[in-house]
Amino acid sequence: MTKAQLRDAIKQEARIKTGTNLDTLVDAVVTDILRDYCNKARYYELLVLDLPVTLVAATTAYNLPADFQNLGTVRYGIGPTPTVFRTLKPITELIYRTVSTGVPFFYLLSAGPQIQVFPYADLTATDQLLISYYRDPNSLYTLETSPFPVPRIEGAVKKDALARIARFHSDNQEAQMDSADAQSSFISAQSADI
């Protein structure tokens, strides 16, 4: 199902009038729920394998791709055509950076988003750093004709979106009703004074 088809299905099932301009709201709710689902689980449809990162000699921090959401693995190989790669481990509170020399063993995700590798002093531009990561699903779901990025969770996302839209829709109706009740009370009060 495309983005436009899913939006129309949600609006139809939620009984939102066609004339109401809630397309932006429905799209925002769907993208929010989709991002949340994909933060909680790793879906192979979003996996990018072994993306090479261009290294700079003796440099620790490198920018991650614009569509990055979650990290899979980080591998490091020595030389321009390594036959063996070492899988780097994430730095934890139990691992301290005591030296900066040697080949990388650890990585750390930081703001930017960036990845930092440690130790880094012996890193050369000819070495290889490969990352496997999961894309932000909404980077694949931008056009009206874009297919849903993870088809197996489409139904669950649709149900959650319907629940949120229904809550908004019922709250909006109550607010309109309160406004109408207030208006009729005002008119009644005016006629009583005359």
76-129, pLDDT tens digit by residue?
Answer: 999 999 999 999 999 887 776 666 788 899 999 999 899 999 989 899 999 999
Confidence bin at 62 (pLDDT 50/70/90): very high
Give me the residue label for tokens 């990388």. 104
Average pLDDT, the chain: 86
pLDDT over threshold 50, residue 175: no
Residue 23, pLDDT score:
87
Residue 98, pLDDT score:
62
Residue 64, pLDDT score:
97
Mean pLDDT on 67-82: 95
Residue 177, pLDDT score:
46
Radius of gyration of the chain (CA): 26
Residue 152, pLDDT score:
95
Q: What percent of the chain has pLDDT over 90?
A: 64
Residue 22, pLDDT score:
82
Residue type, 26: V
Distance between first and last Cα of the chain? 61
Residue 171, pLDDT score:
61
d(CA 84, CA 46): 26
Residue type, 100: S
Q: Is 51 within 8 Å of 132 (Cβ atoms)?
A: yes
Q: Which of 80-89, 128-137, 169-178 has the lowest mean pLDDT?
A: 169-178
- Rounded alpha-carbon distances, angstroms, from residue 187 to 75, 156, 176, 192: 73, 47, 17, 9
- Helix (H), strand (E) at residue 62: strand 61-63
pTM of this structure: 0.80
Residue 186, pLDDT score:
45
186 or 28, which is more confident: 28
Q: Is 177 within 8 Å of 28 (Cβ atoms)?
A: no
With CA atoms as reference, report the closest residue to 106 among 123, 128, 91: 91
pLDDT over threshold 60, residue 56: yes
Collapsed DSSP state (helix, strand, coil) of residue 90 = strand
